[in-house]
Amino acid sequence: MPPEVCLGKPYDHKADVWAVGVILYELITLKKPFESETINGVLQQIVKASFEPLPQNTPSDLKMLVVALLCKDNLKRPSIFDVAAIPCVKK
């Protein structure tokens, strides 16, 4: 669930970009980017906390991709078309 949804704000297709970022983070680290023992705790983590950095051996272009996908500000988060144009995604 992207930050804008957690805050009860309108959302658009960039919510799906956020979801791809969460999945990609989990595939790389084998853990969730935002965790808590309660649902409210998870929502607070999503809205306010930053996720733990990716492992150092993660390629830099992949790190930049995850950071962009998990941008809390949906206006700054890339669209799926922007993501498709990123060189490491194009490959």
φ/ψ (deg, to 5) at 53: -55, 150
The per-residue pLDDT for 91 is 82
Per residue of the chain (91 residues), give pLDDT as tens.
999 999 999 999 999 999 999 999 999 999 999 999 999 999 999 999 999 999 999 999 999 999 999 999 999 999 999 999 998 898 8
Q: Which residues contact 8 (CB under 8 A, 6 or more apart)?
A: none
Give me the long-range contacts of 54-61 (CB less than 8 A, separation at least 24).
Answer: 54/25, 54/28, 54/29, 55/28, 55/29, 58/28, 59/88, 61/86, 61/87, 61/88
Judge whether 11 and 72 are in contact, CB under 8 Å.
no
Structure tokens at 31: 């853990």
The per-residue pLDDT for 39 is 95
CA distances for 59 relative to 1, 39, 63, angstroms: 26, 32, 6
